[in-house]
Amino acid sequence: MDIFLIGATQVTQTNDLPGTVPAEGFLWIDATHEEVTADPEGWRDLIACATGTHIYDPHLKDAVNPLHPSYFDSTQDYGMVVFRKLSLHGTDYSDSAAIPTGDEPLSPTPNGSKRAVPAALSNLTTQPITFFILENALVTVHEHQSRTINATRNRLLDYASKGNKALHNNRLPASPEDLMLRLLNAMVDKYLELRQPLTNQLDRWQRALLDPGRPFKDWLTLLDARIELRKLESLCEEQHDAIQELRDYFVDMDDDGDGATISRTRDLLLVRVNDIMEHINRVLNHARRLESSIESAVQIHFSAVAHRTNEVMRTLTVITALFMPLTLITGIFGMNFAVMPLLQNKTGFWLTMLSMVLIVVGMLAFFRRRRYLETPPSERR
């Protein structure tokens, strides 16, 4: 468990929770699910001793539930935010070199099933992180690994070791709410980084669907991708609802102290909340556009298949039409009559063949004039 006392100009890391509420600044208490589940009552008593706030049993159970959706709840003493963030199981696409190029193998889904989805979509594995917003402390509970928590922790440790001169451009969080919103903003930005690899994957599918030379066979993979995009859409909707309720919670907070100072502080918090909501909306809209694009690509694929089928049927129909009069002529001369025109004529065979050729040429000219044999533009190139 990591414990930081964050003041206006300095950061102090401690190993033990203080026995009294800090007079200045606020505490950041960061714990993992394993630490909380090992002794839930003891951990809650330590939090209550250090902050003066008692966490209720349902919220304590929600904090250690790995399947809990994004959610917000509040009491008279604290607010609780559960936010599902990207886990460390996937690839970090913050580096452009890690963006898939189309040659990467398919990856199995995290739940262990036999179906496979592309690496860009298997990176959508999430895990919850719980924030308890107290008057003088921020308590976070998460899995044992978190990129955002580790990065923030390292920045605070660097600040504590080098002093405020080392990071004069980085302002310390002014309140537990400010620190929480910074963490949430960094987590949402990880979702924004997924937009480009997801778009690249969709572009490859669209080209494969419309490639006339190779039939598309990865229908199960495409279906799994659509399912994953719907999961992302539902995830973003839950996140947006939770942050919206958090925003209402900030708006409804009682004003204690200097009204002008409180109003300015709250405005800054609302700006950060609105920025997070806007980023979530961008991810949500992108997921919806991708899902719509997949459906459009599938419809275009079947339209192209139907068009190619019509072209084949047109060719077969023309061939059949060309041979129908020829078949009629051969059928007539194949009848068992003793006396038939041209049957005993020395030039009868050649006259018949000439008539067949003239019929074929005439029909081809007719079909050309009616554009029945027009070559599609895609086949001319």
Give the confidence band of 106 by pLDDT, cuts at 50, 70, 90: very low
Give the confidence band of 259 by pLDDT, cuts at 50, 70, 90: low
The predicted-structure confidence for 271-291, as pLDDT tens digits, reads as follows 888 999 999 888 888 888 888
Give the confidence band of 120 by pLDDT, cuts at 50, 70, 90: low
pLDDT of residue 100: 37
Q: Do 26 and 12 touch, CB atoms closer than 8 A?
A: no
The predicted-structure confidence for 52-88, as pLDDT tens digits, reads as follows 889 999 999 999 898 899 999 988 889 999 998 887 5
Tokens of 247: 């925003």
Residue that terminates a domain, selected from 141, 173, 205: 173
Average pLDDT over residues 147-173: 71
Does residue 101 or residue 296 have the better pLDDT? 296
pLDDT of residue 101: 36
Asked whether residue 222 is assigned to any structural domain, the reply reads no
The predicted-structure confidence for 319-371, as pLDDT tens digits, reads as follows 888 888 888 888 888 887 777 787 778 888 888 889 889 998 988 888 888 77
With the CA atoms of 182, 183, 189 and 194 taken in that order, what torsion angle do they form, in degrees rounded to the nearest 10? 180
Asked whether residue 336 is assigned to any structural domain, the reply reads yes
Is the predicted pLDDT of residue 95 greater than 60, yes or no? no
Asked whether residue 34 is assigned to any structural domain, the reply reads yes
Does residue 220 or residue 3 have the better pLDDT? 3
Average pLDDT over residues 256-279: 76
Tokens of 108: 């199995």
Asked whether residue 47 is assigned to any structural domain, the reply reads yes
Average pLDDT over residues 286-309: 82
Residue that terminates a domain, selected from 143, 173, 203: 173
**Can you give the pTM of this predicted structure?**
0.70
The predicted-structure confidence for 224-252, as pLDDT tens digits, reads as follows 778 888 888 888 899 999 999 989 888 87
Asked whether residue 2 is assigned to any structural domain, the reply reads yes
Tokens of 212: 């006339």
CATH of the domain at 356: 1.20.58.340
Asked whether residue 148 is assigned to any structural domain, the reply reads yes
Long-range contacts of 65-70 (CB under 8 A, 24+ apart): 65/128, 66/33, 66/127, 66/128, 66/143, 67/128, 68/128, 68/130, 69/128, 69/238, 70/128, 70/235, 70/238, 70/239, 70/241, 70/242
Residue that terminates a domain, selected from 139, 158, 173: 173
pLDDT of residue 88: 58
Is the predicted pLDDT of residue 165 greater than 70, yes or no? no
- Please state, as a whole number, how many other Cβ atoms lie within 10 Å of the Cβ of residue 260: 8
Q: Do 269 and 250 touch, CB atoms closer than 8 A?
A: yes
Asked whether residue 288 is assigned to any structural domain, the reply reads no
CATH of the domain at 40: 3.30.460.20
- Domain extent, residue 23, equals 1-86+125-173
Does residue 82 or residue 192 have the better pLDDT? 82
Is the predicted pLDDT of residue 115 greater than 60, yes or no? no
Asked whether residue 32 is assigned to any structural domain, the reply reads yes
The predicted-structure confidence for 4-13, as pLDDT tens digits, reads as follows 888 877 888 8
Give the confidence band of 162 by pLDDT, cuts at 50, 70, 90: low
Instruction: Give the count of domains, the chain.
Output: 2
| Average predicted confidence (pLDDT) for the chain | 79
